[in-house]
Copies of this chain bind each other. A is one copy, B any other.
């Protein structure tokens, strides 16, 4: 008899769908498409030579160790290096505060696994990172949303949302994906205070924090919280779980991220990770450590900043030059993305269909809204394409948009 697989799937699969982003990545494989869709680092910034040298050293000096099983917590020298880097921002974090994950996506999944009961509410920004929604949909999460503006999460609208009792709140303070905005210092402080007041933990997702192209570095929430809690030099034990990754500073193909959290939370996450994948690849952890330590990572990040700043500027200039009136966009101080807001009556998904015919791609914003709104928004990535491709792509996209903007709203519904 034929197995009725569909009838065997768990209830949680009903909200698992193929990611729009993943499906769109397939478009970027056609070489003639100018894609602003992915969140891909520029392949020309990957330090290939340094990886070659690191692989040789790791295998020559520690081959059997690098190819063997290892501990769930992660490669200790790598965790110690991350602790040292974090400590530069005025916070005591030891290796015991750190868990290495198989990319930041796994960090999101483990947090869902450890915290979310079916029906639990999670407070997210509006819009928020699609990958977080994907991770937590599998745990049958309900969402409470608080809108963003140019200064990030609107903390004056936060209290009402906190009062519904979310399990935690999830925020991307730096160079937001997808919106490209940065949470102001004042709002960071307000956020820490309110979260403490209502006893709601904060998940701080910071994949791009190192990639700032203008303005001054702002302290991360975990640092502000540490000051707020007055821990006076004890290892971190506050209210923030901090996530970051090597995907944007070294290479995403390694799948290496990390979680910084109070030790008791790390222990619970380690138990969840044991059941999920035992541990992250020993070899990639050792290679990443070999590449990153001794100052290379800092130098390399400076180089990436130069490359991406130029690309961001190329995109902003092209938008200014080509995009029709009535279309707005954010001015990111760092990161990989900017956010375009079309006139209210327009549907970015319809725009995408036309854009693909013109060989240019982006991600419609609706995918980033937990409440299904944001139809008139789009996310543009500026890290993957060269400046001349960026100009050409924005020119093509502007041509498509002009047809939509020119068309009166009534004509859109036949």
Contact = CB atoms under 8 A, between A and B. Distances in A.
A291 to B, nearest CB: 11
A279 B25 CA distance: 13
A43 B71 contact: no
Given A55-B52, A277-B106, A277-B109, A69 B19 contact: no
Contacts of A16: 268, 271-272, 275
B67 A251 contact: yes
Interface in A233-254: 237-239, 247, 251-254
Given A113-B10, A201-B8, A254-B283, A68 B41 contact: yes
A276 B274 contact: no
Contacts of A167: 8
A3 interface: yes
Interface string A303-320: 000000000000000000
A286 to B, nearest CB: 9
Number of copies: 2
A31 to B, nearest CB: 13
A232 interface: no
A412 interface: no
Nearest to A29: B71
Q: Which of A3, A70, A201 has the most CB of B within 10 A?
A: A3
Q: Which of A8, A108, A131, A253 has the most CB of B within 10 A?
A: A253
Shortest beta-carbon contacts, A-B, top 10: A43-B64, A67-B251, A253-B282, A48-B63, A55-B55, A16-B271, A134-B275, A67-B253, A106-B277, A46-B67
